[in-house]
């Protein structure tokens, strides 16, 4: 396996066809990384791949189908990337996710099971399957896409928030456990981002109250910083509102956090 200093660093990104995942792929490609873009949406992924090839700055890219709910698909995607990246996985961006908004009792349990399967089980399965590649790449990093809803649960996003709280717990556990293998683990916690994840579902009252101030590129910049910074930070909130909520959560009592959330989301 080639580990010479001249070898481009590599990044494997799930959910790379659209939104935050696409922005991450383009950000890394522009910096000369060897990018592996993986997604379930073949048409959107092909479009992203064309732009990656056009913007690559000294690196290269590959892309293929990935269903994070299918262990065989995960293994195939990692093997595909191994063939293109010489076995290295310097950074894994666990980004694939879905969201359904609505009052908990009104949501279809099928939609909730799907969120758990993609947002949590998919993150777990991809991280588990990628472990040998990360372990064998010195200084590797795992970056999980969490959410500001992992700081305090958001009304009308109960199941989504639950999956992101679980991703936060997974991240904290693996950050300690995988340090022995020279693997850094962190999560990124954006608040509402202007992507299809929002536009393809109804608006939560919290979104109406807080507004949407982040673009996919803002989150991609935070992910790139997490991939390259020498500072060890387990949680990386994105946007001033998420940063304020994150830092306040360590100072304010739970009762105050609950009151603020009720005020922000009242009809």
Q: Which of 226, 152, 237 is CA-nearest to residue 190?
A: 237
Q: Measuring CA to CA, how many Å separate 170 from each of 2, 75, 192?
A: 31, 21, 22
Q: What are 80's two structure tokens?
A: 């595909």
- Based on the residue annotation, tell me whether 246 is a catalytic residue of this protein: no
Q: Select which of 38, 133, 152, 160 is catalytic.
A: 160
Neighbours of 87 (CB within 10 A): 15
3-state helix, strand, coil in the chain (%, to 5): 55, 15, 30
> What single-letter DSSP state applies at residue 34?
E
Beta strands in the chain (DSSP E): 10-14, 34-39, 61-65, 91-94, 141-145, 184-190, 235-238
Q: Which of 261, 239, 243, 245 has its CA nearest to residue 20?
A: 239
55: its two tokens? 């913007």
Three-state DSSP class for residue 131:
helix
Q: Which residues are catalytic?
A: 160
């Amino acid at each position: 396996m080639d580990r010479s200093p001249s070898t481009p660093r590599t990044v494997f990104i799930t959910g790379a066809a659209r939104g935050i995942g696409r922005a991450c792929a383009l950000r890394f490609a522009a910096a000369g990384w060897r990018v592996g873009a993986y997604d379930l949406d073949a048409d959107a992924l092909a479009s992203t791949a064309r732009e990656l090839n056009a913007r690559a700055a000294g690196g290269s890219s590959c892309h293929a189908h990935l269903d994070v709910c299918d262990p065989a698909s995960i293994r195939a995607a990692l093997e595909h990337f191994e063939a293109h990246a010489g076995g290295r996985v310097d950074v894994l961006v666990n980004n694939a996710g879905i969201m359904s908004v609505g009052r908990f009792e009104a949501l279809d349990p099928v939609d909730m099971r799907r969120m758990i399967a993609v947002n949590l089980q998919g993150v777990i399965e991809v991280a588990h399957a990628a472990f040998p590649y990360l372990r064998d790449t010195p200084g590797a990093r795992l970056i999980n896409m969490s959410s500001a809803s992992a700081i305090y649960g958001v009304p009308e996003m109960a199941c989504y928030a639950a999956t992101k709280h679980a991703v936060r717990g997974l991240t904290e556990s693996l950050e300690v456990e995988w340090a022995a293998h020279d693997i850094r683990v962190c999560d990124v916690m954006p608040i509402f981002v202007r992507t299809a994840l929002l536009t393809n579902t109804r608006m939560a009252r919290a979104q109406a109250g807080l507004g949407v101030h982040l673009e996919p590129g803002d989150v991609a910049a935070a992910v790139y910083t997490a991939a390259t910074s020498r500072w060890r930070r387990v949680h990386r909130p994105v946007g001033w509102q998420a940063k304020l909520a994150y830092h306040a959560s360590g100072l304010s009592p739970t009762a105050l956090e609950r009151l603020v959330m009720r005020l922000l989301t009242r009809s």
